[in-house]
Amino acid sequence: MGQKPKIALASDHAGFSLKEKVREYLTALGYDVADQGTSSLESVDYPDFAEMVTQRVVAKQADFGVLVCGTGLGMAIAANKVPGIRAATVNDTLSARYARSHNDANVLAIGERLTDETTARKILDTWLSTPFEGGRHERRVNKISNIDLRHHTEKTK
């Protein structure tokens, strides 16, 4: 069996408690987890943490990103602004499987207000063990990448 993927992990204050449990769980399973914060329940802005994680993923310093906020929605929206990121908000194992197998999601967003620790573990297990199917899905993921290229190309003045 190959090396386990490296995971960049972060949360805002609303996802802090679940993020801590996710970090402990993934570390216990032998994953190399780079915790990007936050480090307390003090109010912070989730886009800052989404950007830290996604920058590690696009720079190939991490294979995957995991983001936790209150619902997972804000983190996913912010993460998807970064070219090359395919973030999916997932609160069940079926969505986790399809996010990887059909959409090749490289960032997982979970909502602490919607997902308990046991469910989060099942989601992580499913998401991390599901390969991208490729085939017809690869064509679609490539189209998503092309949207990134068309709309996120840096403009020079």
| Options 102, 137, 151, 152, the catalytic residue | 102
**Is 137 among the residues known to form the active site?**
no
Torsion of CA 133, 134, 136, 139, to 10 degrees: 140
CB atoms within 10 A of CB 34: 16
Q: What is the CA radius of gyration of the chain?
A: 15
Element (H, E) at 9: strand 6-11
| Options 69, 137, 151, 152, the catalytic residue | 69
Q: Where are the beta strands (DSSP E) in 23-143?
A: 32-35, 64-69, 87-89, 107-111
Q: Which residues are catalytic?
A: 69, 102
